[in-house]
Structure 1
Amino acid sequence: MLKPTVGPIIGHTTTNHARIFLRGKHNKNTLVFAGVRYRRLGEDHWSKGDFAKLEPERDMCEVFALNNLSADSDYEYQAGWFSPMRPAHTVDTVKELPLQWPRQVYHFRTRSSQASLPRAYIVGSCRYLRMTAGIAWAPQLGDRIFASISRLVEHASPPVSAQVMTGDQIYVDDLNIVAPDRKLKEILQKYRVAFSQVNIARLMSSLPTYMILDDHEIEDNWPANKRKSDDYLYANAIRAYELYQASHSPAHALTNDGLINKRLDKYWYQFTEGDIEWFVTDSRTRRNLSATDRRILDADQEQTLCDWLIHTPARVKFVVTSVMFYPDQKRSDDDAWQAFPEQRLRLLETIRTHRIKNVVFISGDVHGSLTSRLTYSEDPDFEVHTVVSSPLCNSRMLPYATAATFTLDQPLVCTAAGDYRHELTSGVISQDNFSHMVVEARRLQVNFHDREGKLLQSIGIPIR
């Protein structure tokens, strides 16, 4: 067996379940299979192995579902791909072959079933990796921050449960002016290169990673800049996104026999860890830009989000939106939530009127990091926070956000009954960075680190 050409990537992980993504290589006129085997750390015997036939239509990618795992446990696993000598093999018959597994052993840990333990997460977005003719230019610039994240994860207490990447994991449109990528093979190559760099590959092989797309997985400011000819681009970009990002996420349900249901009808999803819940929105592909019913989230997603906020028993509720919920930018911005004020107000009113506590909006996009607190003039009990974490790696062609980028001296929304007012609770970080969030009993600690891992700021947000 050969090492995966991309991956393995640990995706959605629970107390008893984990998903592993990997890619093999197309061999013309030859069947290709991939396999994964695993064991609990300290055990002598490997599992029998799970196998799948790789298909060119899926870019030779597969996601394996490991079920019936033990909670709060360390596992080690091996993964690879191969082409059998005989062309008549099936998934069942290759299980009997005397396979030589790749020597590389990877590790992951299942979640704890204890509800109130401290939990930690890595959050980041906007990882620019310029590609020319399918080759990364200066790839170390776009990969070095993941070495720093790995070092933090190795020594973190409490242990880091997952990495949440909130958008622009690749830039399909990095050379839009000169030579835009529009073909499926070009976009797939970007994913292969971006996810197989040394440091990010090492990190994602052991730390569960959750992803959601933003505009650059398709095109800058999508769909506001959409042209009629962009249907071809969109179809290819979304196909690549589904294969490399959505495939190992909770957006895919499990079948009754414990396999990944490859049918996908939405990109937004939820996941839970103890008394913490995440709602990861798709704030990019379900937009309605009509003047009569402007929406950044479609009606079904908005209703599901509101119902979740009202009824979830979670102590802390993280809502991921790839573009900023607030504060607003000074320049006219038709891309973030400030361009959809009615829907934003409906969410805020839902949180306020139902007296929902400990809601934190998580986003990226603006190439600057910050935390901010939102209050309501006529209700001292209302409080919402936001954590913005961006970028993991900026392009030299794009500016960083600063405090001067945002409108900070006036209310976010003025209503007949009162005003929603916000204030920064951190400085605005204008350099490559990531956030390390620790949920404790009485506070959310947000630590921003630079690309070398140095602590830039640490902010404590009370948990009520």
Structure 2
Amino acid sequence: MFKPTVGPIIGHTTTNHARIFLRGETQDDALVFAGIRYRPVGDERWTKGLFTKLSTLRDMSDVIALNDLSEDTAYEYQAGWISPMSPVHTVETVQELPLQWPREIYRFRTQSSKVTRPRAYIIGSCRYLRMTAGKPSSPLRGDRIFDSIKKLVDQADPPISATLMTGDQIYVDDLNIIAPDREYNEILSKYRAAFSQPNICKLMAGTPTYMILDDHEIEDNWPANASKSDDELYRNAMNAYELYQASHSPAHELYDNGLVNRSRLEHYWYPLSEGDIEWFVTDSRTRRTLSADDRRILDEEQEQVLLKWLVNSPARVKFVVTSVMFYPDRKSHGDDAWKAFPEQRLRLLETIRTHRIKNVIFVSGDVHGSLTSRLTHSEDLDFDIHTIVSSPLCNSKLLPYASESTFILDQPLAQTAAGDYRHELTSKVVSQDNFAHVVVEAQEIRVNYHDRDGNLLQTIDIPLR
């Protein structure tokens, strides 16, 4: 068997289930299968291999689901692909072959259902890996920060439960003026390059990774900049996104037999939970309505599901991921974020305030700067929400970093008859490549920002109520 050409990537993981993405390679017209075998750490016997048949329709990639796992248990696994000589093999018959598995052994851990346990997460966005003639022109620079993240993950206490990548994992539109990529194979090559660099491979092979797209998975400021000629670009970009980012996410449901439902996705947003912490990962990019009479950054169905989740979820802490900033607003170029959809933003805020929902944290990236901020209400002293912004993982020399002067901080976010929504920074604005290490404890959320070498830049404590 051969090592995966991309992956393995540990995706959605629960107390008893894990999804693993991997890619093989075409072998002329021969059959190709990808497989995984696993065992609890400490056991000597591997499970029988789980295999899937690979197809060029999915760029020789697939997701294998591991089911009936034990809670809060460390597992190790091997992954690879094979093209058997016989043209009549199936996923069942390949299991019986005397295979030589790749030597690499990867590890992951299932969730614990204990609600009192501290949890920790890595949050990041915007990883620019400039492509020239189909190859990354500075791969070491684009992959450098993931070595620092992996070292932190290996030493973290409490252990890192997941990595949240909140947008712009690739830049389809890098070098957009000179040589824009629009063809499906060109976009696929960017995913292969971005997700096969050595350090990000090591991180994603052992830490559950959750992703959501932003504009650069399609085109800068999508869909505001879309033209009639972009229909094919959008279709190609979304097909590639579904293969490499959405395929291992909770957006895909499971069949009763434990296999991942491969039918076309109805939406990209999804909820996930761990103990008494829940996340709602929104799609704030592909379901926008830009008409003047009903502007929406989230489509109506998604908004209603999100509002019901906010009101009805019993979670102690609720993270809402939105790839573009919920607040504060930017002085310029803010029309690509929630600033341009004030009515819908106010509906969310009023729901949180009037239902007295506590410990709501908005998580985002996009702006190439990192910060935390607090939002309060002039007449309702019980209202209090926070935002955590983490961006970028790797910036381009062509793009500026955000600074404190980037944001509107001297006026209310929104003014209503019931009072004003007022915000303030609770951190310095980080204007360099960085990532966030977020720890949820009993009384507070601790946000640690680290630079690309892993050095601690600042720590912010957000009290929980």
Length-normalised TM-score, structure 2: 0.99
Q: CA deviation at 1:333?
A: 2.1
Counterpart of 2:283 in structure 1 is 282
| Aligned counterpart, 2:14 | 14
For residues 253-312 of structure 1, the C-alpha deviation after alignment (integer angstroms, 9 at most, x for no partner) is 000100000121110001100000000000000000000100000000000000000000
SS at the partner of 2:161?
A: strand
The correspondence of residues 321-360 of structure 1 with structure 2, limited to 5 A, is: 321-360=322-361
In structure 2, the partner of 1:191 is 191
> In structure 1, what is the Cα distance between the partners aligned to 2:284 and 2:135?
30
Partner of 2:147: 147
Superposition pairs of residues 110-149 of structure 1, within 5 angstroms: 110-149=110-149
Tell me the distance in 1 between the aligned counterparts of 2:79 and 2:43: 18
Equivalent residue letter for 2:189:
Q
Name the SS for the 1:84 alignment partner.
Answer: coil
Distance 1:291 1:113 in 2: 45
Q: Give the SS at the match of 1:161.
A: strand
**Alignment match, 2:441:** 440
SS in 1 for 2:234: helix
SS at match of 2:383: strand
Partner of 1:109: 109
- Please give the residue correspondences for 1:264-413 in structure 2 after superposition, counting only pairs within 5 Å: 264-413=265-414
Residue 214 in 1 paired to residue 214 in 2? yes
- For residue 176 of structure 1, what is the aligned residue in structure 2? 176
1: CA distance, partners of 2:132 / 2:61: 23
TM-score (norm 1): 1.00
Matched residue type, 1:349: E
SS in 2 for 1:380: coil
Give distance in 1, aligned partners of 2:293 and 2:8. Answer: 45
Partners of 2:444 and 2:89 in 1: CA distance: 55
| Distance in 1 separating the partners of 2:29 and 2:313 | 51
> How far 1:332 moved relative to its partner?
4.8
Amino acid at match of 1:142: G
Q: Percent identity?
A: 72
CA spacing shift, 1:181–1:332, aligned 2, 3 Å: closer
What SS is found at the alignment partner of 1:372?
Answer: strand
Report the CA distance between 1:169 and its aligned residue.
0.1
Alpha-carbon distance in 1 for matches of 2:334, 2:408: 12
Amino acid at match of 1:143: D
CA distance in 2, matches of 1:201, 1:147: 10
d(CA) in 2 for partners of 1:153, 1:189? 28
The residue type equivalent to 2:80 in the other structure is G
SS at match of 1:334: helix
C-alpha distance in 2 between matches for 1:241 and 1:116? 36
Once residues 245 and 29 of structure 1 are traced to their aligned partners in structure 2, the CA distance between those partners, rounded to angstroms, is 27
C-alpha separation in 2, matches of 1:385 and 1:262: 36
Alignment of 1:220-231 (within 5 A): 220-231=220-231
Amino acid at match of 2:281: V
CA distance in 1, matches of 2:98, 2:266: 39
Deviation at 1:65, TM superposition (A): 0.5
CA distance, structure 1, for counterparts of residue 343 and residue 449 of structure 2: 32
* Aligned residue pairs, count: 464
Q: What RMSD in Å do the two structures reach over aligned CA positions?
A: 0.5
CA shift digits 1:434-453 (9 cap, x unpaired): 00000000000000000000
Q: Deviations over 1:114-135 (max 9, x none)?
A: 1120000000000000001111
